[in-house]
Amino acid sequence: MAIDQPTTRGHRVYLTRSVPEAGIALLASAGLTIRMNPLPRALTPDELCREVGRYDAVMCQATDRIDESVLEASRPRCRIFANCAVGYDNIDLAAAGRLGIVVTNTPDVLTEATADLTWALMLAAARRVGEAERLVRAGVWRGWNMLDFLGADVYGKTLGIVGAGRIGTAVARRARGFDMKLLYFARSDKPAMAALGAERRTLAEVMEESDFVSVHLSLTRDTRRLIDDRAIRRMKKDAIFINTSRGAIVDQGALATALAQGRIAAAGLDVYLNEPMIPAELMALENVVLLPHIGSATVSTRNRMAQTAAANVVSVLRGEGPLNPVGI
């Protein structure tokens, strides 16, 4: 006797932004009807409210604000919001849980790409790469000068990791090739960090003792503005600050002031408080490398992110449950 197989045929999925073809192909192969936001920007919550109620699943991204109003508007049809990101602070998890809507993310797939990008920022900020390239492109370079663009050594220095999860650990692992001393701040001991020779310290000690401070925390109520003016004032005058996690973890105004006053040497940032807006105070500084949130921006990583989000959609709509559920 034939056994009926779970099917997603006849179900509809809404993509809030464009995604790599690998994710779309997986959805299509499952027989899903796909509709994508045609605009080259994130939709507002009001715009999302007008869309989501007509679909069985929504694939969203970190730039989408999925608040209670959006989740309410998706009922009773929508069963899953699959966030195409490892972080999920853009989604009201409490409301989703109360309404019985599944939320998923894409863990693991962007760890190595983000760690690579962190190192790109560290090296660029330390060696003043942005400043030097701007000089060359402006056509005003006049040849080699022994005193031009003197930066900081990386090899043999102390790297402080704030948040020793998957990405923080991957960043620390790369530091072995630079023979760096490793410190880390976390809520508990991390065996993977200890195996690398890293020492667990308080946040104050990490900020005070490190030549490079790199932030790798999830955004929560406890971590919002964790790196405040007091924390930044603890840093060495020649220290360099890196953030590839979430902009809201850092007091941007305090950081900009410290950079402008020369209280720390430099910074490398890939994330900001109110993206895509970047404060004019930061834009005006030569000693900060500014990137447009590209930590996971490699072809293979973005393909895997889209495929992971799509696989969660297919699994839930088949009645097989989420592959990467998140909740409170």
Q: Across residues 197-221, what is the average pLDDT?
A: 97
Q: Across residues 17-23, what is the average pLDDT?
A: 97
Structure token digits, residue 231: 């924390």
The residues, ordered by sequence, that sit 6+ positions from 72 with a Cβ below 8 Å of its Cβ are: 95, 99
Residue from 293, 302, 318, 320 carrying the catalytic annotation: 293
Residue from 275, 281, 302, 320 carrying the catalytic annotation: 275
Give the pLDDT confidence of 82-130 residue by residue, as tens digits.
Answer: 999 999 999 999 999 999 999 999 999 999 999 999 999 999 999 999 9
The verdict on whether 246 is a catalytic residue reads yes
The verdict on whether 275 is a catalytic residue reads yes
Contact 149, 133 (CB under 8 A): no
How far apart, in whole angstroms, are the C-alpha atoms of residue 44 and residue 18?
16
CB atoms within 10 A of CB 146: 5
Cα separation of the two ends of the chain = 43
Give the pLDDT confidence of 50-65 residue by residue, as tens digits.
Answer: 999 999 999 999 999 9
The residues, ordered by sequence, that sit 6+ positions from 213 with a Cβ below 8 Å of its Cβ are: 160, 162, 206, 207, 235, 239, 240, 241, 242
Alpha-carbon distances, residue 189 vs 49, 160, 163, 185, 192 (angstroms): 43, 15, 11, 9, 9
pLDDT at 5: 45
Residue from 11, 79, 128, 246 carrying the catalytic annotation: 246
Give the pLDDT confidence of 241-269 residue by residue, as tens digits.
Answer: 999 999 999 999 999 999 999 999 999 99
Backbone phi, psi, residue 111, to 5°: -60, -55
pLDDT > 70? residue 212: yes
pLDDT at 10: 84
Q: What is the amino acid identity at position 82? A: A
